[in-house]
Amino acid sequence: MSDTLTDNYGIAEALEALGIKDTNPGLSTGNQWMQGSGPEYTSTSPVDGQAIGKVGSATEADYQKVIATAQQAFVDWRQWPAPKRGEVVRQFGEALRKYKAPLGKLVSYEMGKSYQEGLGEVQEMIDICDFAVGLSRQLHGLTMHSERPSHRMYEQYHPLGIVGIISAFNFPVAVWCWNTALAWVCGDVCVWKPSEKTPLCGVACQKIAAEVFAANDVPEGVCCLVQGDYVIGELLSNDGRIPLVSATGSTRMGKAVGAAVGARLGRALLELGGNNAIIVSDRADIDMTVRGALFGAVGTAGQRCTTTRRLIIHESVYDEVKEKLSKAYTQLSIGNPLDENNHVGPLIDKMAVEQYENALKSAVEEGGKVVVEGGVLEGDGYESGCYVKPAIVEAENHFQIVQQETFAPILYLLKYKTFGEAVAMQNGVAQGLSSALMTRDLQEAEAFLSNAGSDCGIANVNIGTSGAEIGGAFGGEKETGGGRESGSDAWKVYMRRQTNTINYGSELPLAQGIKFDL
């Protein structure tokens, strides 16, 4: 690391603080670390193309050992009072505060998002821990009136068991924590397969959690890590001992997970692709619109599931929006994401770059008109080959490439005449994650949020499609998978519901007035 550009940004110190080595074990059940019998993965930074470290991976036999430990841990962990489990999560949140800077730096360097976004991702982890701590004292059910005399009826929630977590590279730590913080206070144990593109983020999080869990005598196996490729994901999906699999990634991957989990009648919590749009009304604040669309389209180099991919603009303000947005694009600084003067970092790898280039080519072939040229950047600072220029293309909503999600900074401009037409265009894709409307018209705002408006899981007014807070449930409809994570009552998916009826009388009346006398 000492000879690399990124050393100027404290990467070596961050890795040391997090306990990241040249070679790292890829399996853990808490304090017990195992190298694994599978091949080693080399994590390479898209920032400068440098190898950060190696991580061991699991075979099926390794996986079976981890699951057996998790099963045993659940027997003990579910008996801990929920507030006591919440205290452990509180301490984990405090540990994340301690490690926020180095972990945020690792996220930035291994994934490629800006350092500020890396810090923001760790802050999401801290926020969900705070949320979960309060939740640990209110995992409430309901009391209902029984139709039978001298009977009391109520419902309560119990832990599910093992929660399998499959996470994506673009949010390599936060989404894992969305799941674990809630699952832990609910009494579940977790087995995590991080993305093989960001394995060191998984090692770092496991080390931080293990430190806290050891200090609290948490059973070995409550927090497990299993590094590997799609084979580990298949094992998790097909394992009948795992009642819930939470998977974040592409729609293609989610369909495979959903089919496997559904075939064994398990639960799948799916957070999949997004093809998000902002509708720009003729009554919009144009300057606010440009700021919101700019971050939504180029933040994390277009690699957020909530990235703004379509801008649906009223014909009367179309040229003004296009001109101002194009000018804003010329002011973007692209480069090392650890340099806070840069706005846009690299794509995750060269495969992503190829998909970006193919999408731009397809858009033009279908009749799109390039407004802001894209392209791959070369030269000093771009040696990794993963840096591209954010592009803007005028297009039509029906274009095949517009209907797809390209995980890259490509923004399509679309024109509309009537508000109803705009909503139909917004909804006229297979995905249904995030959406937004820019307007100062109350009627338009309310119509957009009505049951005849946006069909997405997230619908915003006068803010962009990105930047969800943990207090609200996060997720989407249609090919986005229908799952909900993070806030609101998302905790219920990590528990099983049980209805209880107690007869405290001396008779045994049947429901619905049924008579069964001998």
CA distance 370 to 410: 10
Specify which residues 413 forms β-bridges with: 311, 394
Which residue is associated with the tokens 């009388």?
505
- Tokens at 509, concatenated: 């009346």
Residues 271, 405, 444, 485: which is the catalytic one? 271
- Please tell me whether residue 20 adopts helix, strand or coil conformation: coil
- Tokens at 3, concatenated: 């000879």
Residues 186, 201, 205, 305: which is the catalytic one? 305
CA distance 190 to 324: 47
Phi, psi of 43 (to 5 degrees): -85, 120
Could you confirm whether 315 is annotated as catalytic? no
Could you confirm whether 354 is annotated as catalytic? no
Q: Are the beta carbons of 117 and 300 closer than 8 angstroms? A: yes
Which residue type occupies 263? A
Question: Which are the contacts of 321, defined by CB distance < 8 A and separation ≥ 6?
Answer: 280, 286, 289, 290, 311, 313, 413
- Tokens at 518, concatenated: 């001998």
Nearest partner of 141 among 495, 509, 504, judged by Cα: 495
Four-CA torsion 359, 360, 363, 369, nearest 10 degrees: 160
32-62 in b/e burial notation, b at 16+ Cβ within 10 A?
Answer: ebbbbebebbebbbbbbebebbbbbbbbeeb
Longest dimension (CA), the chain: 91
Phi, psi of 300 (to 5 degrees): 55, 30
Other C-beta atoms closer than 10 Å to the C-beta of 458 total 23
CA distance 128 to 195: 21
Q: Are the beta carbons of 466 and 308 closer than 8 angstroms? A: yes
Sign of the torsion formed by the C-alpha atoms of 111, 117, 119 and 122: negative
Which residue is associated with the tokens 């039978």?
148
Across 231-328, the runs of DSSP E, i.e. the strands, are 244-248, 267-271, 276-280, 308-314
8-state DSSP, 316: T
Residues belonging to the active site: 271, 305
